[in-house]
Amino acid sequence: MINSIVSAFRFLFLRLPVLVVWHWPFAGVSAALRGVLWCLRWVYAGICAQGRLLRASPLAFYRAMCRRRDWLMAKVDYLNSESGKWRALFATLRLPYSGLRAMGINPQTCVGILVAGGTVGGGVIVNETVFAERSFSRGDSGTYSAPADVPIVYSDENNTLLIRLGSTPIGEITIQDVSVGTAFSGSTLPSGETAAVLVGGVATSTGFTATWLEVGHLIVDRWRCNTFELSDVEVHTLTVRGNASDGQSIGPTPGTPRRRAIGGGNRADSMVTEGGTYDQIQIIAPNSAVNGKVDVLTLSNLFTKGGACKLSRIKAGKIDILLNETGLGNGYASKEFVIATSTVYSVFVNTDNREVSISPP
């Protein structure tokens, strides 16, 4: 029975294909088929040989399988070894950067050290490659000329986030979830500064014409401040809601400021950053007689310490001051949360603001 089956297979896979190919009219196709048939014969011969070996000696068949297994595993071990060597090489090449990061140096300074070839001193970094590594969207400090995402000036001795606004209208600026001032270990306010957060225009001085920050919608949300002051402001709709402070003085003046929004056609791209630690945040219009213009300015979840939170010289369509906490823990007689009489409004919403005992962060 077995011999009959073997004979049938030999005829089907060996003799019949050869006869077909032999009489095939196209030489190229015949050659290709002969190659395929040769492979099939080789496979068939191997299967038959293994079958005969298994029938003759199961132990010898097992040993043959073990040899093939060992050959395959040897190749796998070799590939794993080579892969480990390549990983070790890449880890060695990355060691300078990894070592600097392990010492607590931030990524931007690490890049500056490695690219510049040494530690950067107190001067200003001007290397283009270093600038390319710093970004407003990634939360890096520096002086930014809105709406550029890379700083025009950066000093390793100054951790201030400074946005300079000019006549170019900005669609949106958003800064959220940051710590400012002395709110984190090793931080300090810049020399000569008393404010942790400073937002607005610049008053008139010798040889300088005053500027304003023009905003369509300003959102001041969930700040934690030692003191908070809103002054020299013109706003159509002022909303002060849900604020708690160690002492409050809310006394804006009614007037006729107009509704305001910032257009400008093809406005500049938005500037958005989330997370970060800064010695100070400034958003100002520093150019003489040139107002800064932002349609939506959102400053949310700022945790500050060591200095005041000041907003002044602002012209806005809407200002929302929501759910902020302010206090120095020195009693209600000292007013830490102030909406000054120099703030002029058309519509004023003043709800659920409480005086409660709040100590510094």
pLDDT digits (tens, 9 = 90+) for 100-137: 555 555 555 565 666 554 444 433 434 433 444 678 88
Is residue 81 pLDDT above 50, yes or no?
Answer: yes
Q: How far apart are CA 12 and CA 18, in angstroms?
A: 10
Q: Are residues 57 and 165 in the same domain?
A: no
Q: Are residues 304 and 185 in the same domain?
A: yes
Q: Quote the radius of gyration of the chain (alpha carbons, Å).
A: 38
Q: Are residues 220 and 322 in the same domain?
A: yes
Is residue 225 pLDDT above 90, yes or no?
Answer: yes
Q: Which domain holds residue 107?
A: 101-133
Mean pLDDT of 192-218: 93
Distance of CA 308 to the CA centre of its chain: 28
Structural domain includes residue 96? no
Q: How far apart are CA 160 and CA 180, in angstroms?
A: 9
User: What mean pLDDT, rounded, does the chain reach?
Assistant: 80
HSE (side-chain half, CA atoms, 13 Å) at 96: 10
Q: Are residues 41 and 160 in the same domain?
A: no
- Domain count along the chain: 3
Please report which confidence band the pLDDT of residue 229 belongs to, taking 50, 70 and 90 as the band edges: very high
Distance of CA 290 to the CA centre of its chain: 31
Q: How far apart are CA 195 and CA 228, in angstroms?
A: 10
Structural domain includes residue 66? yes
Q: Are residues 346 and 209 in the same domain?
A: yes
The whole-number pLDDT of residue 345 equals: 97
Is residue 356 pLDDT above 80, yes or no?
Answer: yes
Under DSSP, the state recorded for 13 is I
**What phi and psi values does residue 357 have, to the nearest 5 degrees?**
-75, 115
Q: Are residues 75 and 154 in the same domain?
A: no
The whole-number pLDDT of residue 130 equals: 41
Q: Are residues 127 and 257 in the same domain?
A: no
Structural domain includes residue 195? yes
CA-CA-CA-CA torsion for 248, 253, 254, 259, nearest 10 degrees? -90
Mean pLDDT of 285-305: 93
Task: Pick the range with the lowest mean pLDDT from 22-31, 219-228, 291-300, 351-360.
Answer: 22-31
Structural domain includes residue 240? yes
Q: Are residues 80 and 162 in the same domain?
A: no
322 or 99, which is more confident?
322
Structural domain includes residue 146? yes
Q: How far apart are CA 66 and CA 46, in angstroms?
A: 17
Instruction: Point out the domain boundary residue: 31, 57, 91.
Output: 91
Q: How far apart are CA 333 and CA 322, in angstroms?
A: 23
Structural domain includes residue 361? no
* Tokens, residue 6: 């073997």
Q: Are residues 83 and 205 in the same domain?
A: no
Angle, to 10 degrees, between the axis of helix 27-56 and the axis of helix 58-93? 110
For residue 262, the tally of other CB atoms under 10 A from its CB is: 21
Q: Which of 244, 269, 264 is nearest to 337 (CA)?
A: 244
Q: How far apart are CA 52 and CA 340, in angstroms?
A: 102
Is residue 289 pLDDT above 60, yes or no?
Answer: yes
Q: How far apart are CA 126 and CA 213, in angstroms?
A: 29
Q: How far apart are CA 125 and CA 173, in angstroms?
A: 25
CA distances from 16 to 9, 12, 80, 165 (A): 10, 6, 46, 87
Q: Are residues 27 and 69 in the same domain?
A: yes
HSE (side-chain half, CA atoms, 13 Å) at 3: 0
Q: Are residues 107 and 178 in the same domain?
A: no
The whole-number pLDDT of residue 118 equals: 44
Structural domain includes residue 39? yes
Please report which confidence band the pLDDT of residue 32 belongs to, taking 50, 70 and 90 as the band edges: low
Instruction: Point out the domain boundary residue: 91, 124, 150.
Output: 91
Q: Is the pTM of this model over 0.75?
A: no
Q: Please list, in sequence order, all residues whose beta carbon lies within 8 angstroms of the beta carbon of residue 339, skipping any fewer than 6 positions away.
A: 230, 238, 240, 249, 250, 251, 252, 321
Q: Are residues 200 and 81 in the same domain?
A: no
The whole-number pLDDT of residue 151 equals: 84
